[in-house]
Amino acid sequence: MDFQKAIFNKILPIGLLLLVTSSQFAQKVIRYDLYVKDTIVNFTGTEKRAIAVNGQIPMPTLVFTEGDTAEIHVHNQLKETTSLHWHGLFLPNKEDGVPNLTQMPIGPNSTHIYRFPITQNGTHWYHSHSGLQEQIGMYGNFVMLKKESDPTFRKGIDDLPTVPMVLSEWTNLNPENIHRMLHNANDWAAIKKNATQSYLEAIKAGHFKTKLTNEWKRMLAMDVSDVYYDKILMNGSPNTDLKSIDDKPLKAGDRVRLRISNGGASSYFWLTYAGGKITVVASDGNDVEPIEVDRLIIAVSETYDIVVTIPIENTAFEFLVTTEDRTKSASIYIGNGIKQLKSPQPRLKYFEGMKMMNDMMKMNGDLDDMGMQMSLNQMDMNVVMYPEITGELKLKNASKKDDMGMTNDHPNPSETQYNSNALSDIVTLNYAMLKSPLKTKLPTESPIKELRFTLTGNMNRYVWSLDNKVVSEADKILITKGENIRLVLYNNSMMRHPMHLHGHDFRVLNGQGDYAPLKNIIDIMPMETDTLEFNANAEGDWFFHCHILYHMMSGMGRVISYENQSPIL
């Protein structure tokens, strides 16, 4: 009795305190109603079917503050089922929005309510997880604001004028046809992009032998992306002016924070700015120590928060978004006055890339083990194709040495040969440069479970998988609550893959020790190995998959499932 009384006395004041605080900072329920409906768009002079939410593409930006409760009513006015996934969010598994895994699909003419507490802050996004709907409009930004009272609130960053921005692509082709054509190994996309490596072009460019070798290895024309797109969109438009934020005109000296999500289905984008350096302040919704770069690539489904400055008066500076294959771009002009353009990213030198791929491939089409550990996007094999980087010359010199039969101290390509930061004055962001401002160490007392996956695939048949199995052929990956999971991912395919884990952030082991950055997407280039860690702290069935839409639809993923949990469906 005395014991209970003691507790009661102790609890009482705390209870009163809670009462006071809850009246001061009442938990707000923020409700959004989203109407998902067929629409007709015209981005290219041709009318095409798309899906709009509340009449717009992209879907509306949803804004919350950490501590709110989100209540999102999804009204499906399509003739087909739909779903919405809240990318990068920590939430109860049943709210995760993966049809037939965490919920039943939302049927036509029905409403589904998602309700979950907002327990984090940062730039995230949301999209349909049903079929190929993401390709035709179902993507939008999802912003969770940090409270000013938050000890991690960064003055000069978290209080800057801010613009949410979702990048995407538009194709006039029906995505179902794209998917079919990719499986038919038709090189229509390359033809349209004028990047086809025909014999004639090969001879002209003096690379006939390279082309022949390629054919012999049964390689298709090499390409850095799968799909041809008609337009690149920033917040739904290829060209926009940003003259003011919250009705305040932008002027010289102003710093602007862009919350950028890559909502594209299969495109990577280079980000460059005509007004100088780009300061990266967050990735995948997690703060990083500010870092200045000249350019960065944003992988499919990643988010970056960046800060740019308007350096001089009466000028609008181009912020340029260019597809990785450099065939298309979109721009936003930041500021007021004469437009200062960013020089376009020069066209890729495909033959240089093809020749290099040849050198790296064995006769059976597998990649050669280059005898060095590649990871974290530090060595970009595409560097030989970037005219703006001086890499080509050094590579030529290296191979000349070999041709002359001279002893080579470094039989394998050296790190510098593919490191754009070592080869030029341009600073390119890579994952090793990201550092969390806070320690991200996992609980030390937890047991470690290591899971290894090889990213596998075949460009000719367009089959993408993990360990040569697609998700439907593979068992769920069982983990136990409380364990520390270490994921070691090796990419043994010819394409890069942005791997995404639902419901958790992982630490990227990138040499920053206790300050390893937290992300929920890791882009893995060919031949790279990356190691990720997370604490298993959220029960449920969580999808782990490549976020290139057509790779995911081909089966490149797994379900990571907590043991001994009660089934959801």
Q: Name which of 428 and 554 has its Cβ closer to Cu ion.
A: 554
Q: Name which of 50 and 189 has its Cβ closer to Cu ion.
A: 189
Query: CA dihedral in degrees (200, 206, 212, 213; nearest 10)?
Result: -150
Structure tokens at 183: 């499986």
Residue 524 CB, nearest approach to Cu ion (Å): 9
Q: Name which of 195 and 299 has its Cβ closer to Cu ion.
A: 299
Find, among 110, 1, 109, 85, the residue nearest to 520 by Cα: 85
Give the DSSP H or E segment for 394. Answer: helix 391-403
Residue linked to tokens 């597998």:
366
Q: Count other Cβ atoms within 10 Å, centred on residue 64.
A: 18
User: Which residue ranges make up the site for Cu ion (CB under 5 A)?
Assistant: 497, 546, 548, 551
Q: Name which of 295 and 551 has its Cβ closer to Cu ion.
A: 551
State how far the Cα of 332 lies from the Cα of 217, in Å rounded to an integer: 43
Sequence-distant (6+) residues with CB within 8 A of 549 are: 132, 134, 135, 175, 265, 266, 300
557 forms bridges with which residues in the sheet? 545
Residue 150 CB, nearest approach to Cu ion (Å): 35
Residue 359 CB, nearest approach to Cu ion (Å): 24
Query: In the sheet that 122-127 helps form, which strands lie side by side, from edge to edge?
Result: 62-65, 139-145, 122-127, 85-87
Residue 549 CB, nearest approach to Cu ion (Å): 9
Cβ-count burial 17-29 (b if 16+ within 10 Å, e if not) = eeeeeeeeeeeee
Q: Name which of 225 and 375 has its Cβ closer to Cu ion.
A: 225
Q: Name which of 413 and 526 has its Cβ closer to Cu ion.
A: 526
Give the DSSP H or E segment for 378. Answer: none
- Residue pair 498/548 in contact by the 8 Å Cβ criterion: yes
Q: Name which of 53 and 494 has its Cβ closer to Cu ion.
A: 494
Residue 41 CB, nearest approach to Cu ion (Å): 27
Find, among 545, 541, 561, the residue nearest to 553 by Cα: 545
Structure tokens at 80: 């087909």
Q: Name which of 74 and 525 has its Cβ closer to Cu ion.
A: 525
